[in-house]
Amino acid sequence: MNAALPDVPEVRVVGLPQLTSGFDLVERLDLAMHLKVHGPLEPMGGEQLASLAEQISLKGRGGAGFPFARKLRAVAESAIRRGVRPVVVVNGSEDEPACRKDTVLINRAPHLILDGALLVAEALGARTLVVGVTRNSTEASMQAALTERGLTNRRGAPLRARVQRNPVRMVTGESSALIRSADGGPPLPPGRKVRASDSGVGGAPTLLSNAETFAQLAIAARIGADRYRNTGLHDEPGTVMLTISGAVARPMVVEVPTGVPLRYVLQLAGAPPLPQGVLTGGYHGKWLDGAAVHDAVVSRASLDALGGALGAGAILPIGPETCPLGESLRVANWLAAESAGQCGPCYLGLPAAARGLADILNGGGPAALEALRQVTKAVKGRGACKHPDGSAAFLDSTISAFTDDLAAHVLGGGCGRPVAGVLPLQEEGAAGGGAGSTAGDAPTGQRLAVDWTLCQGHGLCADIVPELIQLGPDGFPSVAEASVPQYSAARAMRAVRRCPALALRIEEEQPPAPRRSNLPVLPPGGSRRALGSGRG
């Protein structure tokens, strides 16, 4: 069973390095070494920068793949129309257990990311730069990089730059959640569909993009569009940073030119020669079966055409010895537990979907399969953010990619294979403050409970701790009790103290009673949390 990934796993490169230049010399490129490796960088005008992004077909590397040039122009036009200074935000909130490429860049090449962000800030006339992170290591590295450049958040500085630290949670990496936290609110999606280019941090037009995107822009600005396009595919030039984990001998982050066969990258990490399937794009991504993996190359278009997804660059193969539906159930439970609890399709729908997949594994038959399909269909397009959509897409892909195993569980007695637990989950490395964890995400062992005999629907609790309590259509809390993580403990206690009707209380959570399960058993030494009701 694979342990949780460290913040900075092994880094490899296929071909000539671009983003990873200098990694063979030092563990972290400080400003002096960064300039020795990459050289100086001259400012560029806004239209010149947008044209460069168009020529290299630069798209966001955080998952959505939005064209960077369109985003840049939209922010510039909005800022001019409103007569306000825009804001630049770097999203380094890499919160998926299977993603480490941005964390590697922030830890080892922070100045390359800052180069791209400062290019954009200068071109747009921005006076505020925010870098969102979620890990101790990324916070320390980026703060050191700002200090090395003499950038501070002091009032009156030509450019106010700061690091915004948020908890490691799936939803904190969503763009609107990062913007909300940068404004002093909770790191949760607000549920309002407002484009950041129109109104972002402080209500100003905001250019928010992924850390790797800014680093790619900095490379292109140095070497020029023609030289940049000499690497990779004609329609998707350059390199891509991938995180390879799952059933591999050597989990790693690898920089690879687009167009390289996916099977070669998997071989580099020591994946099974004939993987049963490969999850592409991370836990909001899609599965490829063995035949599709053989035909796939590393590119957004190739993976999309074969039913996969580049997404955030996570690639996770599984071998033939494990139950793919059981592996997917572990992920489904984790996705359900990562809900912000702000909307029914996510808070109620994702646990229901995970239970539906568990029912299939428990021999629920065709009725269980149909119930799962209905739940995932109901979840799509109805959430406050993209977490429900991404989770539903993952589940849809699971039941489409492994039809033989699905039939064995639905119509027979199961596939007969155990669950090896090869897909990394955050909870596996969280105990004891392990790699990639933060104390803020750990449970307190307490729950916030509503006494319905006293509650009068004042609604103060939802204002104070919105990540735990939301109001229903009748104005009363929509949940009766909610587990309290460390990062919400202080606000939960404040909500209890300020409740006018004294209807809130903090209680100690009781451990769940053991229950029998027909799910595939784990091999000796495997995680006994992998297939229980768990956090989902």
Domain at 170, CATH number:
3.40.50.11540
Strand partners, 130: 89, 162
- Look at residue 353 and tell me if it is in a domain: yes
- Look at residue 451 and tell me if it is in a domain: yes
Domain endpoint, select from 291, 318, 345:
318
Q: Say yes or no: 361 and 504 in one domain.
A: no
Nearest to 325 by CA among 400, 377, 391, 262: 400
- Look at residue 119 and tell me if it is in a domain: yes
CB distance 300 to 59 below 8 Å: yes
Domain endpoint, select from 197, 229, 261:
229
Is pTM beyond 0.75 here?
yes
Q: Say yes or no: 75 and 186 in one domain.
A: yes
Q: Say yes or no: 312 and 354 in one domain.
A: no
Q: Say yes or no: 310 and 347 in one domain.
A: no
Q: Say yes or no: 62 and 90 in one domain.
A: yes
Q: Say yes or no: 153 and 271 in one domain.
A: no
| Angle between the N-to-C axes of helices 324-337 and 387-401, in degrees from 0 to 180, rounded to the nearest 10 | 170
Instruction: Look at the alpha carbons of 301, 207, 48, 109 in this order and tell me if their dihedral is positive or negative.
Output: negative
Q: Say yes or no: 38 and 53 in one domain.
A: yes
* Domain tally, the chain: 4
Q: Give every strand in the sheet of 87-91, ordered side by side.
A: 160-165, 128-133, 87-91, 206-210
- Look at residue 15 and tell me if it is in a domain: no
Nearest to 53 by CA among 175, 209, 259: 209
CATH number, domain at 364? 1.20.1440.230
Q: Say yes or no: 224 and 368 in one domain.
A: no
Q: Say yes or no: 244 and 211 in one domain.
A: no
Domain endpoint, select from 318, 341, 372:
318
How does DSSP classify residue 59? B
- Look at residue 417 and tell me if it is in a domain: no
Q: Say yes or no: 244 and 284 in one domain.
A: yes
Q: Say yes or no: 381 and 452 in one domain.
A: no
- Look at residue 533 and tell me if it is in a domain: no
- Look at residue 435 and tell me if it is in a domain: no
pLDDT per residue, tens digit, the chain (536 aa), is: 455 789 999 999 999 999 999 999 999 999 999 999 999 999 999 999 999 999 999 998 887 788 999 999 999 999 999 999 999 999 999 888 999 999 999 999 999 999 999 999 999 999 999 999 999 999 999 999 999 999 999 999 999 999 999 988 888 888 999 999 999 988 888 877 788 999 999 999 999 999 999 999 999 999 999 999 999 999 999 999 999 999 999 999 999 999 999 999 999 999 999 999 999 999 999 999 988 999 999 999 999 999 999 999 999 999 999 999 999 999 999 998 888 877 777 878 888 888 889 888 888 888 888 888 888 888 777 777 888 899 999 999 999 999 999 999 988 888 889 998 999 987 433 433 333 333 444 566 788 889 888 998 888 888 787 767 877 777 888 777 777 876 677 778 888 988 999 999 998 876 544 444 444 444 444 443 333 333 33
Q: Say yes or no: 156 and 68 in one domain.
A: yes
- Look at residue 291 and tell me if it is in a domain: yes
CATH number, domain at 480? 3.30.70.20
* Range(s) of the domain holding residue 288: 231-318
Which pair of tokens denotes residue 338?
A: 């990562």
